[in-house]
Amino acid sequence: MTDTLAGPARPAAPSGGWRSAKVVDVAHPTPRSVVLRLEVQDRIDHLPGQHYVVRLTADDGYTASRSYSVSSAPSDPLVELWVERLDDGEVSTFLADVVQAGDILEVRGPIGGWFVWDGSGPAVGVGGGSGAVPLLAMVRHAAAIGRPELLHLAVAARALADLPFPDELVAAGAVVALSREMHSERAAGRLTVAELRPLVTRGATTYVCGSAAFAEFASQLLVQLGCPSADVRVERFGPSG
Amino acid sequence: MASPTRGFLGRARKVDRRLPPGQYDVRDDFPVLTAEVTPRIVPERWNIAVDGLVSTPSTWTWDEAHRLPASVYEGDIHCVTTWSKLGTSFGGVSVDTLLDAAGPLQQASFVMARSSTGYTTNLPLADVTGGKAWVVRTHEGRPLPTDHGGPVRMIVPHLYFWKSAKWINRITLMDHDEPGFWERNGYHDRGDPWLQQRYQGD
């Protein structure tokens, strides 16, 4: 029995307040992404799907905050954030261009009690672009608890390089739908109903994450396939930056 | 205040008194953030109920709601994800009009706003009375798009926008507070943007 939107109060997902985080490692897998690995003081372990807020403070006290989904498993000693660099993004350009190992960032998390998967039941994940980040946390968590068979994934992007850690997603058996380039034997094109159909599992909770347009497209496809709306949890990535 | 982040300058500061702390202006954009599948609601089959601790539980259909006095909100909205939209407008009916018809009982002090999707959000009664809340069917003069909560959503613009339930169909008056959907999931019970009441504990 899965929780529904209107469901009764349930045990709260973990949540944490403001913390200081030390940047242990910075990687730039592509020019448009940055991976930060953070050592969070007094960290409260997250569940896959949860996010952190990163708050930057200027000398005059001006602040800018954005939310980023966690890409690492709870069992990872560090909290990992995969961040898409948006050219006009105030925070993402700073994280991608300025932050280096040893920096201290102010973070808050984990946050969110709806778009979370604790690994106790079957789940279907459908992610578009950076919306695959929380699915990656699920993949890694499923592996860590020895239950990879619980997860069925589809990810979509323009190109493979637009996905976070594409090799891990492919290795986890994700359906990969690329709209602008060929992948294995698949011609370029949008994610289709036929590709999603085999993923839909009775009794599974379905997680859809991506831009508002992608989330709308994918969630309507799932409903067409007979997925009850009440079993579909949606995370629409807002404009961040 | 936290110590400065090394190397962070931030965008050029524009002093805009309409912008609460920690918010930025999305200008012409109007982002969509919802936790559920967008429902398809036929306006002719939509209705809204006011029930719970009221003397006359009442329901209005789409046509009946159109016959109520029209009311417009012109001003700003603020999302907890840090965007604000300044100088926008919504048209519909004041929540006061609905409540006046239903007649809140004396002990009513909170409301739960409910959507057809099962979404809920809780508010003190005082935050939806006195010209502070609307159920709206237009945005900037056009029918409210489905992804923004159409055909009808609530707006409570002085609070973070998750309080402005999309696809609203029921307002229930209560004598106690109860957490709604996001409030059960880590977000603040009241959500005043000027006090940055974003998460539980703020």
Percent residues over pLDDT 90 in chain B: 87
On whether the CB atoms of residues A67 and B81 are closer than 8 A, the answer is yes
B3 chain-A contacts, CB cut-off 8 A: 57, 104
Is B161 touching A (CB cutoff 8 A)?
A: no
| Residue B134, H or E segment | strand B134-139
How does residue B2 score in pLDDT terms, banded at 50, 70 and 90? confident
A132's tokens: 């695959």
Helix (H, G, I), strand (E, B) or coil at B22: coil
- By residue count, chain B amounts to 202
- In tens, the pLDDT along A175-233 reads 999 999 999 999 999 999 999 999 998 889 999 999 999 999 999 999 999 999 989 99
User: Rounded to whole angstroms, what are the CA distances from B122 to B52, B73, B125, B184?
Assistant: 14, 21, 9, 10
B5/A108 CB distance under 8 A:
no
Measured CA to CA, the distance from residue A71 to residue A104 in angstroms comes to: 19
Using the Cα atoms of residue B134, residue A234, residue B33 and residue B200 in order, give the sign of their dihedral. positive
Percent residues over pLDDT 70 in chain B: 100
Is B194 touching A (CB cutoff 8 A)?
A: no
A216's tokens: 């709308």
Chain Cα centroid distance, residue A181: 22
Is B87 touching A (CB cutoff 8 A)?
A: no
How does residue A2 score in pLDDT terms, banded at 50, 70 and 90? very low
On whether the CB atoms of residues A187 and A153 are closer than 8 A, the answer is no
Is B83 touching A (CB cutoff 8 A)?
A: yes
On whether the CB atoms of residues A23 and A99 are closer than 8 A, the answer is yes
Interface predicted TM-score (ipTM): 0.84
A111/B24 CB distance under 8 A:
no
Measured CA to CA, the distance from residue B166 to residue B115 in angstroms comes to: 6
Is B33 touching A (CB cutoff 8 A)?
A: yes
B35/A115 CB distance under 8 A:
yes
- For residue A92, the number of C-alpha atoms closer than 13 Å in the C-beta half-sphere is 21
What's this model's pTM, rounded to 2 decimal places? 0.91
- On average, the pLDDT of chain A sits at 93
A239/B83 CB distance under 8 A:
yes
A232/B37 CB distance under 8 A:
yes
At B34, which amino acid appears?
T
pLDDT of the residue at A237: 82
Checking if the pLDDT of A12 tops 90, the result is: no
Measured CA to CA, the distance from residue A137 to residue A130 in angstroms comes to: 12
Residue with tokens 């952190």: A52
Average pLDDT (B109-124) is 97
User: What is the least distance, in Å, from the CA of A97 to any CA of chain B?
Assistant: 10
pLDDT of the residue at A7: 60
Cis amide bond preceding B151, omega within 30: yes
- In tens, the pLDDT along B171-190 reads 999 999 999 999 998 899 99
A95's tokens: 């994280």
A74 CB-contact burial (10 Å; exposed 0-12 / middle 13-18 / buried 19+): buried
Pick B7's closest partner by Cβ from A4, A98, A236. A98
On whether the CB atoms of residues A205 and A152 are closer than 8 A, the answer is no
Count H helices and E strands in chain A, helices first.
5, 11
Pick B34's closest partner by Cβ from A66, A223, A234. A234
A65/B22 CB distance under 8 A:
yes
pLDDT of the residue at A239: 54
- In tens, the pLDDT along B134-168 reads 999 999 999 999 999 999 999 999 999 999 999 99
Q: Indicate which of A2, A68, A211, A229 best probes the interface with B, i.e. most B CBs within 10 Å of its own CB.
A: A229
Pick A111's closest partner by Cβ from B8, B22, B186. B186
